[in-house]
Structure 1
Amino acid sequence: MKEYIVSARKYRPMTFDSVVGQAALTTTLKNAVKSGKLAHAYLFCGPRGVGKTTCARIFAKAINCQNPTAEGEACNECESCKAFNEQRSYNIFELDAASNNSVENIKALMEQTRIPPQVGKYKVFIIDEVHMLSTAAFNAFLKTLEEPPAHVIFILATTEKHKILPTIISRCQIYDFERMTVPNIINHLKMVADKEGITYEEEALNVIAEKADGGMRDALSVFDQAASFCQGNITYKKVIEDLNVLDADNYFNIIDLCLENKAADVMVLLNNIINKGFDGGHLINGLAVHVRNVMMAKDEQTLPLLQASASQTEKYKAQAAKCSSAFLYKALRIINDCDINYRQSSNKRLLVELTLIEIAQITQPDDEGAASGRCPKRLKSLFKRLMGERPKAAMQVAAAEPSVNRHTAIAKHNAEKAAESVVSASEGSSTDNSMSNGDGAKAAQPAMTTNLRKLKLGSIGKTFANLRRQGEEPQMVAEQDVEVVDNGEHNTFTEDEMLTQWVGMCNRMPQQMTGIAARMKNMMPTIKEFPNIEVVVDNEILLEEINKIKGRIRNTLIKALRNSDITLTLRLAKPEEIKRIPTNRERFDELKNTNKAFERLSEILGLEVS
């Protein structure tokens, strides 16, 4: 039985002209051989499997060829070429830097450079994966690399150019190898298939070329695998089954269904894809590439960017004629958002389903689609309707919730009321009966509006989150609006209401003001002479920063509290006024120690510090 050799080795290029996809580099090297203008060091860099080591060997053979051709190729007939082809040349040395990366290995290499070649003109040292050399080895190599003997040429090859010392790079001629294009890989695979007597479908070779990701060696390895599975007849269906690749027809079908607003059919198709073992993230990535290709197919100028077979290109052009540019732009944005959020999502399948539903709704009018039952109404309009139907009473109840985490005074006041009502209710029914008429009903009202289950400490911000969901709280005034707002209102307000709006304003401040907002939450503004609000700041730096946005803060409070007469005073705290901010645990313990009713309440309800 004849020995089997993998295609990547069997069909390895032996001449410059047979190298695929590196025409510019091979032409430069051939011209250097023809003219005899050879550098003492070369650096070949680029991704894996694109021909770096192959070109280094061809170049080394051509340099030592005794009778090079007029095109700069080796003759393959002289003694030097025959020795190289039979792997017995003493003038060409290959060193794997991954396993020979020490200073001792480099010193041994330097000793060999002193001996001139016995046959040929040059001693050529090919160092593969040179970025694996240690820093000490690089430093030991520097002097010899800069001024080697006249009969020595170094060819360094690497896949990670950024890991090589700049002092090494500056001493070499640099050749950057490109990734193989899909058409180039397909043409080379056709040549190999014809020589091996293997039949194929062009769509199948296109899948193999895309799987290789620009590397010819990877493409030939996948080709051998597919040839073994298909037993000499490489078909599209067998290749996607062997390589576990999602059929491209699924992407065409998804876009067609989305254009027709058939969200239910898209969900069925997604379920079938997932049942076949494909991951939702894999589908999203493939769909993004597909939509991008459809967008490129809309214009003749961008067709070369597809890098697809001729039959696939025609399919993309046919679907591009159906899709508007606005649809493709929105679909790409939605898919990109899904890709960003996919890893953090706890329910990945739901995220993919919502993404496909949103794409299916792009072309759906706002007031159509629900009657047919094929897909739901726009999510946007649904949310608007729900927000419009939300009762305003919920906002009033939410506003009554205590804010314990940062403002101990308000928390203490509300907790005392709640504690007294609960304790009194647990002590007997006589008190409950007495509160059923007259003033008793009014006295019970504060306890009813306080949700006792939400009295856990550290719950600051709940009130303002509820307000934001209803869209009814005033936003932070824009930077340019520094003039005093006069809304013509002169409502009165309490200090508790002012503190509530102060914290809400801090929560709504822009992201770039996160630091100053966090410091402002710890402050306790007070009403000195109504409606003058005084804020005491701990240090001069913070005072200076707040002074820069003082006008915006004042305008925000005027709108929130509905009083145009509000003035804002900022002053530096006196030494005796500076106090350490207590922790949540310390505030909780203080409430228990100073109020027996709250202590009993915490035991009854099992209150904890969150």
Structure 2
Amino acid sequence: MSYQVLARKWRPRSFREMVGQTHVLKALINALDSQRLHHAYLFTGTRGVGKTTIARIIAKCLNCETGITSTPCGECSVCREIDEGRFVDLIEIDAASRTKVEDTRELLDNVQYAPSRGRFKVYLIDEVHMLSSHSFNALLKTLEEPPPYVKFILATTDPQKLPATILSRCLQFSLKNMTPERVVEHLSHVLSVENVPFEDDALWLLGRAADGSMRDAMSLTDQAIAFGEGKVLAADVRAMLGTLDHGQVFDLLHALIQGDAKALLEAVRHLAEQGPDWNGVLSEILNVFHRVAIAQALPEGVDNGHGDRDRVLALAQAMPAEDVQFYYQMGLIGRRDLPLAPDPRGGFEMVLLRMLAFRPADTADAPSQPLKPVGISQATVDSAQAVATAAALTPVATPVPEPVAAPEPQVAPP
């Protein structure tokens, strides 16, 4: 038997197996239990959040041999055929490859025929925004008043491209992106059942890399298992994804808070060995400052999406709120100017050195930790005092009076 990837093996087959999307499932379950069925549904959301999965579950709920229910049995011939993708009355159409109006007319010509096996004939049109304007116009009338045994389920990742006439004929449900916490929780359950050893830090890396898509998270987990020879370890996942070690970002920030330029540049040197995207590193630093500011205003409001909540709270206690805002603003300006730097690494280092150099020194809230000497001469002489000293050492020339012309003799008149 061939290997089945995790994304397909763990595809939900009922509403109770779905992860997230509670706001959508509640409406669908109540509608099925009360037999208040609409003729057209539209599911929107990014890739891998459950649009096609929910559509197939609805097809099972409508055609299960036990009757119309929100909890299909999953054991009858109809449920098994839908799970295996061979149910004759579930017509899945890829709109991206059938954009012409002739394809839509061929589909509509078959709508008039009654279902062969099931109670309803379900048309699942995926990526429906790819249809041409003529195809949408051909679909309008049938979508508004289909035969009683026909249900339309439309799915799209770009609802802005759909005409308002299509939107007004459908019940629209917007599926949310998966949060890293929910992805990590599900991956932990899956790997435990699959008997695959894993590290929590590795799951957090996968959860963030999935970018809201559960299918992407499962695919990346498959790749991580193969990369780690049957184990999901943080070091392997980091090497596989080419992502930055989040601990190195905190090393940079600790050196910055301590005013230790030598440790700061040493941390940058370690980062350079990995060939990182310096703009991305600066973005990570800004993200940490943002979460530190939240922790200072509302500690319980800090999320654990990166698995580093304790470290963020520790930074929030170690830094004055003014410094956090100052560093954040300077990082934003540095990120804006980073493309103008002759060298990306040099531009990144200048941003950090600027944060070290421009620190308040005449206020009560100045950083308590002074800059550490790094073995180079420092211009610490006050400019006004230097000007006064230079003026005192400069010899002053005595002014020479200008000669006064003698008055002309007066000649008496004869």
Deviates more, 1:358-367 or 1:317-326: 358-367
Out of 239, 243, 246, the residue aligned to residue 244 of structure 2 is 246
Seen in structure 2, the aligned counterparts of structure 1 residues 116 and 205 have a Cα distance that, compared at 3 Å, is same
| Segments ≥4 residues shifted beyond 4 Å | 366-371, 374-378, 381-385
Counterpart of 1:584? none
Counterpart of 1:192? 190
1:13 matched to 2:44? The reply is no
Q: Is this contact kept in 2: 1:126–1:154, CA < 8 A?
A: yes
* CA distance in 2: counterparts of 1:354 and 1:171, whole angstroms: 56
Which whole-Å deviations, capped at 9, do the CAs of 1:477-517 have from their partners, x for residues lacking one?
Answer: xxxxxxxxxxxxxxxxxxxxxxxxxxxxxxxxxxxxxxxxx
Deviates more, 1:244-253 or 1:354-363: 354-363
Counterpart of 2:323? 327
* CA distance in 2: counterparts of 1:159 and 1:375, whole angstroms: 57
**C-alpha displacement of 1:207:** 0.8
Counterpart of 1:350? 346
After TM superposition, the structure 1 = structure 2 runs for residues 131-142 of structure 1, keeping only pairs within 5 Å, are 131-142=129-140
Which whole-Å deviations, capped at 9, do the CAs of 1:506-541 have from their partners, x for residues lacking one?
Answer: xxxxxxxxxxxxxxxxxxxxxxxxxxxxxxxxxxxx
Q: Is this contact kept in 1: 2:261–2:371, CA < 8 A?
A: no
Counterpart of 2:336? 340
Seen in structure 2, the aligned counterparts of structure 1 residues 76 and 363 have a Cα distance that, compared at 3 Å, is same
Q: Is this contact kept in 2: 1:15–1:74, CA < 8 A?
A: yes
Counterpart of 1:163? 161
Out of 125, 138, 143, the residue aligned to residue 145 of structure 1 is 143
Structure whose alpha-carbon radius of gyration is higher? 1
* CA distance in 1: counterparts of 2:107 and 2:383, whole angstroms: 75
Q: Is this contact kept in 2: 1:45–1:52, CA < 8 A?
A: yes
Q: Is this contact kept in 2: 1:102–1:133, CA < 8 A?
A: yes
| AA of the residue aligned to 2:302 | L
Counterpart of 2:406? none
| AA of the residue aligned to 1:352 | F
* CA distance in 2: counterparts of 1:169 and 1:318, whole angstroms: 49
* CA distance in 1: counterparts of 2:343 and 2:110, whole angstroms: 62
After TM superposition, the structure 1 = structure 2 runs for residues 95-134 of structure 1, keeping only pairs within 5 Å, are 95-134=93-132
Aligned sequence identity (%): 33
* CA distance in 2: counterparts of 1:360 and 1:37, whole angstroms: 64
**C-alpha displacement of 1:327:** 1.5
After TM superposition, the structure 1 = structure 2 runs for residues 452-601 of structure 1, keeping only pairs within 5 Å, are none
1:24 matched to 2:23? The reply is yes
Seen in structure 2, the aligned counterparts of structure 1 residues 384 and 33 have a Cα distance that, compared at 3 Å, is farther
* CA distance in 2: counterparts of 1:83 and 1:170, whole angstroms: 32
Pairs aligned (count): 380
After TM superposition, the structure 1 = structure 2 runs for residues 159-308 of structure 1, keeping only pairs within 5 Å, are 159-298=157-296, 299-304=298-303, 306-308=304-306
Seen in structure 2, the aligned counterparts of structure 1 residues 24 and 111 have a Cα distance that, compared at 3 Å, is same
SS class of match (1:199): coil
* CA distance in 2: counterparts of 1:155 and 1:108, whole angstroms: 18
**C-alpha displacement of 1:276:** 1.8
| AA of the residue aligned to 2:97 | S
* CA distance in 2: counterparts of 1:383 and 1:93, whole angstroms: 81
Q: Is this contact kept in 2: 1:258–1:361, CA < 8 A?
A: no
* CA distance in 1: counterparts of 2:372 and 2:225, whole angstroms: 52
Deviates more, 1:23-32 or 1:358-367: 358-367
Seen in structure 2, the aligned counterparts of structure 1 residues 383 and 21 have a Cα distance that, compared at 3 Å, is farther
* CA distance in 2: counterparts of 1:68 and 1:377, whole angstroms: 83
**C-alpha displacement of 1:145:** 1.0
Q: Is this contact kept in 1: 2:89–2:117, CA < 8 A?
A: yes
SS class of match (1:178): coil
Please report the TM-score for the alignment, with normalisation by the length of structure 2: 0.85
User: Aligned-pair RMSD on alpha carbons?
Assistant: 2.5
* CA distance in 2: counterparts of 1:257 and 1:85, whole angstroms: 55
